[in-house]
Chain A
Amino acid sequence: MNITRREMIKLSTAAFAAAALNIPFSNQARAEENIVVDKWIKGACRFCGTGCGVYIGVREGKVVGVRGNPEATTNFGFLCVKGFKGFLSMYHPDRIKYPMIRQADGKFKQVTWNEALDTIANKFKDLQAKHGKDAVGYYGSGQCMSEESYTFNKLWKGGFKSNMVDGNPRLCMASAVGGYMTTFGTDEPAGSYADIEKAKTFFLVGSNMSECHPIIFRRIARRKLAAGDQINVIVCEPRLTSTARIADVWLPADPGTDLAVFHCMAREMVKNNWVDQFFVKNLCRFTTGEKVVDLKGYADFLEEFTPEKVEKLTRVPAANIREAARLFATQGPTMSLWTMGLNQRTRGVWANNLVHNLHLITGNICKDGADSFSLTGQPNACGGVRETGSLCHLLPGTRLIADAKAREAVEKSWKIPAGTIDPKPGFHTMKMFGALGAENDPKKPLKGMLITTTNPAQSLPNAPHYYKGMKDAFLVVLDIFPTRTTQFADVVLPAAFIYEKGGIYGCSERRSQLTSKCVVPPGEAKPDLWIGAQIAKRMGLEKLIPWNGDDPAVAYKMAWDDYRECVKMTEHSLYGMTYERLLKLEEGLQWPCPTEKSPGCSHRYVRGRDPIMDMPEVVQIPETAMIYFYADKKHEGRANVFMRPYKGPAEPPDKDFPFFLTTGRVIEHWHSSTMTMRVPELARSQPNAYVEINPEDAKAYGINNGDMVKTISPRGYNILPARVVKISLPGILFVPWFDQHWDRMVNRVTIDAFDEGSFQPEFKICKAKIERVGPPKDVADMTLVSNLDDPFPGLA
């Protein structure tokens, strides 16, 4: 066969596209004679929580291409713009390549790994000796590999005997965790992405998935395109986003008011007898949290949420609520999906509970196409942080630290003396950063912190409130680029990118996927796992964390095996997910997966699908039960249908600050844009943040499109170009949060009030006012913190 290399590239790329769509492709055979790269290596994308399967193309030791994996059941070969282009940031000249320590003059100096690690270990030991075991915290990320989060969690809780462990999933997913834990007794969804292809009605709430989870959105949009009138899409969201544009019913609730909408939908369902009697009788427990009632008691509670009253409260037309309730309850199976719009709230746990309510009373769960599904934001918030228990109140297997039996089981697994693990939870993220400060400050108990793969100086709400603590404390930051957070660091360690180390990610649908190492890191950059293990070794904890060798393939597998063993006898068991299996399986595996022969689990709590249902050594389930919520704390197999009272946001608009300000993401950028702003095409496509203003409001304030606008809250202000569009309703402002420029960092403005159950902050809602400050100005500066020695602008 005599075809050129270019033709082969074209055939090869087309073959993958055809395979993804299951379209016959006559040139497939030729395309598979792959001569494009030296090798394709299987892995996962790292730019959202979908868990897209990818193949990484490597040629002459460099990553040169990425393609979707058609066999991956998460994305069937499709990728979004970040998935395709984000990896290019690996080769940006700003990569941190050497360990750096800040000197007395405030400038960083390159040091050896030994110097850096000895400095950290000695300082941590010193701080713990002087101020106690809890004087040093770990702040991790939903972007670390599972093996890394597990290792740092084990080091802190088992080695330092300290629960000062938290991570950025606290900022994005904690309310979803709280919602699942309180309703079902255990974390994470019952169903799978595969329900999308079987659902007939979708309830999309607090999620602009077309930009934030575009591959999931594509699956839903494709369903809608193919089946037309048979598929119903309900969107509850204050902005007419590109997601809302495919909706049959739009519920434009003012930020923070949707609890009333959910109760109103439930009221319609109960009044019209659209409830599932089997679920109501056998699987639901109607409760205030303290008192249990029957269906009538629940109906009485809902009575005040009439559509007309809720319309006045939320601005959602009463007729839309009625139709949404009808579609949800009668045109199922129904699948709900949500993200930050539900979670980043002072009532985030309650909002999650109330969506679960709708599924439970209509029996839309534990069936094909029916699920109450929280989409996670980060690639490994579920697998790496929630499942490994790398939060201040958790242990591996999402077990509570407060549970004596769980502590005992983990201590046994870790081979540490009974009583080692402190029964008292550590500080959650907001408390942790509030407690961070100087050694000589008696009001600040946390004197040092290790931060990895996240950028709290930009991502914390009301961020400037926490800068002094970060500056005064001993701060160690692991990252691949300079960030707003490295500007406060005392030690910066060069980290390896996912494709330079490998490891496991667990996505929203309880699916774990293994990425193999593809290329070597630049300079002296190292995997987080190596860094954690080396710190452990220097602090006398080598026996606890023995995987400190230089070969990441060996070290990561050792850590994973240790973790598998630790959660073996839990209902979150992933003992059957060996490295060998995950290496072979194109689509990874979903837990529970308790044995090496287990195929994993698409639907939890369902006999015949969930292996835990037939493991009496883990949970006790009546033999006749086909569906059973086995994590029910009352051991009745029921889920809680909560009668949560209506409460609005912490800071609603008032006469001085008459707008709702809400924040979010755009498709081009990942989080604080430290990677995506380094991919020129993504940066050019979305070079700066802006404030979206409804034309009615813009007119009232004399603001034209592009004018510079001061957006002010009680905490601070931004100066942003106006984007005058009808996307946001009158009275609502929207600002994306990716921008690193000091004038446009929206977390100078947001509120740090948080949910009392999940401790997740209310990024989505605060009050604000606007002022026109001038005509249009070119602010497309694609701002980056490029140099570790760049001074921080907020500290005069």
Chain B
Amino acid sequence: MQEVPSPGNLILRKAIWYEMIITGSAILVRSGSSQGVIEALEAVPEVTIQARSDSGTELIVNLEADDSTALDDLCARLKRSIPAIVDISHVSVHFEDEVERMIGRSKQQREES
């Protein structure tokens, strides 16, 4: 479970905020069901709704997850729990902290060898 940062612990908050993947994603929804989907998404803390197409069949959202696996899990969970979602596609993904972790692992492995 991701720890929720307290307002008084700014260093911790910064660390947590940076150790995340943040996406800009498009969610395709069945025609006529966007309001219901929006209401369902609003209950999911990892989702921020940013925009809706005029036709109502596409939503622009941010998805936030600890790592790529958690992101995949989140997408699968959303599709499973909200049947009106046809597809979720990521357009932009911010990975900075995953790269840092990979480089950290590389260094550690080099040192160990």
Interface residues of A (CB under 8 A from B): 4-6, 9-18, 20-21, 23-27, 36-37, 57, 59, 62-68, 70, 77-79, 84-85, 88, 91-93, 218, 221-222, 225-226, 679-681, 684-685
Q: Say yes or no: B24 contacts A84, CB within 8 Å.
A: no
A680 to B89, CA, bound (A): 20
Give the distance to chain A from B4, nearest Cβ to Cβ, in Å.
Answer: 14
Q: Which residues of B contact A70 (CB under 8 A)?
A: 91
A207 to B44, CA, bound (A): 37
Interface 1/0 per residue, B86-105 and A, CB below 8 Å? 11011111111011101101
Q: Which residues of A contact B78 (CB under 8 A)?
A: none
Q: Say yes or no: B60 contacts A88, CB within 8 Å.
A: no
- Cβ-defined partner of B72 (8 Å) among A25, A222, A685: A685
- Cβ-defined partner of A17 (8 Å) among B57, B92, B96, B105: B92
Q: Say yes or no: A68 contacts B67, CB within 8 Å.
A: no
Q: Give the 6 A-B residue pairs with the shortest CB-CB distance, closest first.
A: A13-B24, A681-B68, A67-B92, A17-B24, A17-B91, A14-B50
Which of B48, B53, B92, B109 has the most chain A CB atoms inside 10 A of its CB?
B92
Q: Say yes or no: B110 contacts A67, CB within 8 Å.
A: no
Q: Say yes or no: B22 contacts A13, CB within 8 Å.
A: yes
Q: Which residues of B contact A18 (CB under 8 A)?
A: 24, 50-51, 60
A9 to B87, CA, bound (A): 23
Interface 1/0 per residue, B9-28 and A, CB below 8 Å? 00000000110001111101
Q: Say yes or no: A79 contacts B91, CB within 8 Å.
A: yes
A70 to B100, CA, bound (A): 27
Q: Which residues of B contact A24 (CB under 8 A)?
A: 51
- Cβ-defined partner of A20 (8 Å) among B48, B91, B95: B91
- Cβ-defined partner of A225 (8 Å) among B26, B57, B91, B106: B57
Q: Which residues of A contact B87 (CB under 8 A)?
A: 218, 221
Give the distance to chain B from A502, nearest Cβ to Cβ, in Å.
Answer: 20
Q: Say yes or no: A23 contacts B58, CB within 8 Å.
A: yes
- Of chain A, the residue at the smallest CB distance from B102 is A91
Q: Which residues of B contact A218 (CB under 8 A)?
A: 87, 89
Can you offer 8 A-B residue contacts whose CB atoms are under 8 A? Answer: A14-B92, A23-B58, A67-B24, A67-B91, A91-B106, A92-B102, A93-B105, A225-B57
Q: Say yes or no: A93 contacts B51, CB within 8 Å.
A: no
A765 to B58, CA, bound (A): 41
- Of chain B, the residue at the smallest CB distance from A84 is B93
Give the distance to chain B from A70, nearest Cβ to Cβ, in Å.
Answer: 8
Q: Which residues of B contact A6 (CB under 8 A)?
A: 17-18, 22
- Of chain A, the residue at the smallest CB distance from B71 is A681
Give the distance to chain A from B14, nearest Cβ to Cβ, in Å.
Answer: 9
Give the distance to chain A from B68, nearest Cβ to Cβ, in Å.
Answer: 4
Q: Say yes or no: B92 contacts A12, CB within 8 Å.
A: yes
Q: Given A14-B61, A88-B102, are A65 and B93 also a contact pair (CB < 8 Å)?
A: yes
- Of chain A, the residue at the smallest CB distance from B70 is A681
**4 new A-B contacts at CB < 8 Å, known A21-B53, A79-B93:** A9-B22, A20-B26, A26-B51, A64-B96
B52 within 8 A of A: yes
A18 to B26, CA, bound (A): 8
- Cβ-defined partner of A65 (8 Å) among B60, B67, B72, B94: B94
Q: Say yes or no: B48 contacts A10, CB within 8 Å.
A: yes
A6 to B16, CA, bound (A): 10
Q: Given A10-B62, A17-B92, are A92 and B53 also a contact pair (CB < 8 Å)?
A: no
A679 to B99, CA, bound (A): 11
B69 within 8 A of A: yes
Give the distance to chain A from B50, nearest Cβ to Cβ, in Å.
Answer: 4
Q: Given A14-B51, A16-B24, are A21 and B93 also a contact pair (CB < 8 Å)?
A: no
Give the distance to chain B from A131, nearest Cβ to Cβ, in Å.
Answer: 41
Q: Which residues of A contact B53 (CB under 8 A)?
A: 21, 23
Give the distance to chain B from A52, nearest Cβ to Cβ, in Å.
Answer: 11
Give the distance to chain B from A661, nearest Cβ to Cβ, in Å.
Answer: 30
Give the distance to chain A from B41, nearest Cβ to Cβ, in Å.
Answer: 14
A68 to B89, CA, bound (A): 11
Q: Which residues of B contact A78 (CB under 8 A)?
A: 26, 89, 91
Q: Which residues of B contact A11 (CB under 8 A)?
A: 50
Q: Say yes or no: B95 contacts A64, CB within 8 Å.
A: yes
- Of chain A, the residue at the smallest CB distance from B91 is A17
Q: Say yes or no: B24 contacts A15, CB within 8 Å.
A: yes
Q: Which residues of B contact A59 (CB under 8 A)?
A: 96
Q: Given A6-B17, A225-B28, A681-B67, are A57 and B91 also a contact pair (CB < 8 Å)?
A: no
Q: Which residues of B contact A36 (CB under 8 A)?
A: 94
Q: Say yes or no: B22 contacts A62, CB within 8 Å.
A: no
Give the distance to chain B from A675, nearest Cβ to Cβ, in Å.
Answer: 13
